[in-house]
Chain A
Amino acid sequence: MKNKHNHKHISSVTIVSILVVSLLLGSSIASSGSETAKAGEVIYTIADSTGDWGYPSPHGHYPRGPGYVRMSFIFDTLVWKDTQGFVPALATDWEYIEDENAYLFHLRKDVTWHDGEKFTAEDVAFTFDYVKEHPSWWVDLKSVKQVEVLDEYTVKIYLKELYAPFLNDDASTLAILPKHIWQDVKNPSEFVNEEALIGTGPFKLVDYSKTHGTYLYVANEDYYLGKPEIDRLKFVKVSEEMASTALMRGEVNATAIPPETVVEVNGKGFTVINQSGDWNAKLMINHEKEPMSSKEFRHALAYAINRDELVEIAQRGHAIRGSPGLLSPNSPYYNPNIVKYDYNPQRAKDILESQGYQLKEDGYYWKDEEILELELITAPRMGFERVAEIIARQLGEAGIKVSVRSLEWKTLDSRVISQQFDLAISGHGGIGGDPSILNKVILGKFGYSANYTKSESLNQLLEAHLHEMDAEKRKEIVREIQKIYAEELPALTLYYPTWYWGHDGSVDIYYTMGGIARGIPIPLNTLAFMEYKAKVKAPAPTATEAPIPGFEPAISLFVLISVAYLIKRRRKH
């Protein structure tokens, strides 16, 4: 009995050590895969840290940006976007007919589906009717009244009411489906066979592995803009930490890279592109609960938080300071003339004192024998824990006691939605696209939206800008929205992180103006893959590479375990 116990103790040493080793080693084992190219064939490989984004059919992919991007290689929309704005896709040109509140689209006549059938206006009309009936996460077409086929290559789309975001949110987001295949499909999300992948796009899918998170596309020879110069397009799963190494070793051609590796990646001759302002991290404030229900109190919070420090420390400078109006300075709709809430802890204290709080010797504000204490919840994602830690310290310095809790991501979302929180850190993208996103993130009920409907004037303006067809006037309304939003402050935008992509220059990948489709800030626009340049700098894998991180610590720990084991052996004999 005792003897057994003894062994248990010794083995626990080993277990501890093994655990530490596997901990250090485990994450360094990243998957990467790069087949050797067949003679003359151009293969372009893109790394992704998640891997699987669902079956790339219009209704089968996961409702997130990368899922849409994987679908967009196979399917086309009526209108598309590049670095400058809208460009023709399936529609050669379009016009808005004011009297009828309708859009007229003239379609290309040289388009065929992947199965050889001709593409016509019937397919477009069918898609609109079909998606109205089966809305996807991206498009619901609520604004569309009816679709009329004028001739084989002309369609007219009537809107129910004036709806400004139509071109961006619907026409350049809705993937056009082949009528001859989808007309019999009752449940689009369960339609996941090969037929569901017949589109008009530049690529066809030949292989998809859910378990490995890989996608393989081949070029569509009959694409209406000509055959893409990339013969095979591949997505492979590579962990975020290994992405830069994989790129520098030539295992992948393009990947998102951590900010800390930008200098090194750049130094080895790779192109690094970056983008910020399409995504924001924000402090969610429970405006339904005392004391945050007071507007002034929310102002005090904003004054007590030093957003510059968050950028400098939590994001190590790879971000832009948040604007209280939500939209970033990079947005064409940005309004610089709003309340800025520049860091001013004294002002925060003054506001708190005017609210009846008294500063006590413990350094915190008290009211009615109760300390001013708030709970800040966050999730272990995108460096949010560090942000929370810093905000808790800053608010503490202003006399507001804050306890921080890190929750699982989905728990965080559900607590925000059910308003069981004081403060929370969350975030969302899409703010580089059409300002219709504001309606979603101010009025909506999501884990990342303010869920704020108390301000009548804000509600009216949010409704108004959707129906304002004059671009300039719409801009004015959106600017006004930012102003009121900043004053009401139902949530505070903290910063816009900067994202980096590194690539070898063989394909000029770029960020789309306003994001792909509804505003996806990923630089994988299908149009970029039409052209292939011979590699400017072929990154030869160097033999003198540093060993894989995690290897050296593993060795040192192995030595340590061996010593412990030897001691044990010596004791035994």
Chain B
Amino acid sequence: MHINYWKELKKNSFGKIGLAMLILVLIIAGLFPLLTRYDPGEPSHSALNPPSSEHWLGTNDVGQDIWSRLIYGARNSLLVALGVGLFTTLISTVAGASAALAGGLYERIMMRMVDALIAIPAFIVIILVAAYVLPNVWTLIFLISILTWQGGARIVRAQTLSLKERMHVYAARTFGANKRYISTRHIIPELGPILVAIFIHSATRGVFMEAGLAFLGIADISTVSWGLMMHYALKFYYLEVWKWWLLPTGLALSVTIMAFVFIGHAFETAMDPRLRVMEGEDWQC
């Protein structure tokens, strides 16, 4: 209740590393025009060049500058992270909170639906759907979100159920507060930290899934995406190019995903006192 999450995050070394990595990725993505003079889509240079002062990471198979594609690709990953994060959190909150607050038949139907959705492998469904619709970045965000919100909805519902029974909510109810007042004034604000955790978790999954799908070739091939870059790079790995094409891309992707994972981890530790290591005693025993 009375935890300063930001402070907790900063105290946690995982959190610090994660934040630093995320800020680095953000800066690189944001300062894109300053960091390169090449258009990532412009194939006007000779192909498969090794790194030089002209092209820091050389050029790919169609003569595009790999460095500019690498930093431009960060935007795609961050966009997916943000999109999937927001959208999934929204669906989870609406579904989970409404189920907990409304109760009854609606809650049952909703939660059984969640159960059913959990059984569906999102990855495979997206591959199937991609055969019919153009898998551009927005479609992917939408698809990943509507196929992966179930876990979040469960957590939100559980938390809402617990909040509903808290003393101050009872008190508000005795003073005649209606459901709407209670949910907007008490429940939703207090769900905050949980929602942030869900957001981070979904963002991670979003980045990961987008890269995985693009790596398999399920992507709009005109987008600049790390997954797609690896998809193409792997076709030429028998040449020297993997060192400046495949490796940096893989690292960039790992760094981004790890940034999210670390932050998420630090955040959970901050939220859940049981996870905090008490000095001088083995608290958990």
Give me the interface of A with B, judged by CB distance under 8 Å. Answer: 2-3, 5-6, 9-10, 12-13, 16-17, 20, 23-24, 27-28, 241-242, 244-245, 258, 260-261, 313-314, 316, 375, 380, 383, 385-386, 388-390, 392-393, 403-408, 411, 549-550, 552-553, 556-557, 560, 564, 567, 571
Extra contacts, 14 of them, besides A3-B275, A316-B47 (Cβ < 8 A), are A6-B268, A10-B261, A16-B254, A17-B254, A20-B253, A20-B254, A27-B234, A241-B237, A316-B61, A386-B61, A389-B221, A406-B221, A411-B131, A556-B247
Q: What are 19 A-B contacts defined by CB distance under 8 Å? A: A2-B268, A3-B275, A12-B261, A16-B208, A17-B254, A20-B254, A23-B215, A24-B242, A260-B48, A313-B63, A316-B61, A375-B134, A380-B217, A386-B61, A390-B62, A392-B222, A405-B135, A405-B220, A567-B17
A277 to B257, CA, bound (A): 46
A5 to B272, CA, bound (A): 11
User: Given A9-B265, A260-B48, A390-B62 in contact, is the A244-B238 Cβ separation under 8 Å?
Assistant: yes
A387 to B238, CA, bound (A): 22
* Chain B residue nearest to A243 in the complex (CB): B238
CB pair B247–A553 under 8 Å, yes or no, is yes
A375 to B135, CA, bound (A): 13
Residues of chain A with a CB closer than 8 A to B17's CB: 567
A549 to B234, CA, bound (A): 11
A201 to B114, CA, bound (A): 65
Question: Does B117 belong to the interface (CB within 8 Å)?
Answer: no
CB pair A386–B134 under 8 Å, yes or no, is no
Question: Does B264 belong to the interface (CB within 8 Å)?
Answer: yes
Residues of chain B with a CB closer than 8 A to A390's CB: 43, 62
CB pair A2–B272 under 8 Å, yes or no, is yes
Question: Does B274 belong to the interface (CB within 8 Å)?
Answer: yes
CB pair A261–B43 under 8 Å, yes or no, is no
* Chain A residue nearest to B207 in the complex (CB): A16
Residues of chain B with a CB closer than 8 A to A567's CB: 13-14, 17
CB pair A549–B131 under 8 Å, yes or no, is no
Instruction: Point out the residue from A10, A16, A313 that lies within 8 Å of B257, measured CB to CB.
Output: A16
CB pair B250–A557 under 8 Å, yes or no, is yes
A225: shortest Cβ distance to chain B, in Å? 38
A564 to B251, CA, bound (A): 14
Give me the interface of B with A, judged by CB distance under 8 Å. Answer: 13-14, 17, 41, 43, 47-48, 61-63, 131, 134-135, 204, 208, 215, 217, 220-222, 230-232, 234-239, 242-243, 246-247, 250-251, 253-254, 257-258, 261, 264-265, 268-269, 272, 274-275, 277
A455: shortest Cβ distance to chain B, in Å? 33
Residues of chain B with a CB closer than 8 A to A314's CB: 62
Greatest chain A CB density within 10 A among B17, B250, B257, B269 is at B250
Residues of chain B with a CB closer than 8 A to A571's CB: 13-14, 277
A10 to B268, CA, bound (A): 12
CB pair A260–B253 under 8 Å, yes or no, is no
Residues of chain B with a CB closer than 8 A to A260's CB: 48, 236, 239
A429 to B86, CA, bound (A): 50
CB pair A13–B261 under 8 Å, yes or no, is yes
CB pair A389–B258 under 8 Å, yes or no, is no
The 7 A-B pairs with the shortest beta carbon distances in the complex, nearest first, are A241-B238, A380-B217, A2-B272, A553-B247, A9-B265, A20-B250, A316-B47
Residues of chain B with a CB closer than 8 A to A383's CB: 61
Instruction: Point out the residue from A12, A316, A553 that lies within 8 Å of B242, measured CB to CB.
Output: A553
CB pair B254–A24 under 8 Å, yes or no, is no
* Chain B residue nearest to A28 in the complex (CB): B237
* Chain B residue nearest to A553 in the complex (CB): B247
* Chain A residue nearest to B242 in the complex (CB): A549
Residues of chain A with a CB closer than 8 A to B243's CB: 552-553
Residues of chain B with a CB closer than 8 A to A27's CB: 234, 237
CB pair A9–B264 under 8 Å, yes or no, is yes
A380 to B264, CA, bound (A): 36
A12: shortest Cβ distance to chain B, in Å? 6
CB pair A549–B63 under 8 Å, yes or no, is no
A221: shortest Cβ distance to chain B, in Å? 40
Residues of chain A with a CB closer than 8 A to B257's CB: 13, 16
* Chain B residue nearest to A379 in the complex (CB): B217
A375 to B63, CA, bound (A): 25
Instruction: Point out the residue from A23, A241, A313 that lies within 8 Å of B43, measured CB to CB.
Output: A313
A404 to B230, CA, bound (A): 19
Instruction: Point out the residue from A16, A245, A258 that lies within 8 Å of B258, measured CB to CB.
Output: A16
CB pair B134–A557 under 8 Å, yes or no, is no
User: Given A242-B238, A385-B221 in contact, is the A405-B265 Cβ separation under 8 Å?
Assistant: no
Residues of chain A with a CB closer than 8 A to B239's CB: 260-261, 549
* Chain B residue nearest to A380 in the complex (CB): B217
A390 to B208, CA, bound (A): 28
Residues of chain A with a CB closer than 8 A to B235's CB: 241
A72: shortest Cβ distance to chain B, in Å? 30
A351: shortest Cβ distance to chain B, in Å? 25
User: Given A404-B222, A571-B14 in contact, is the A9-B261 Cβ separation under 8 Å?
Assistant: yes
CB pair A313–B62 under 8 Å, yes or no, is yes
* Chain A residue nearest to B204 in the complex (CB): A12
A11 to B135, CA, bound (A): 29
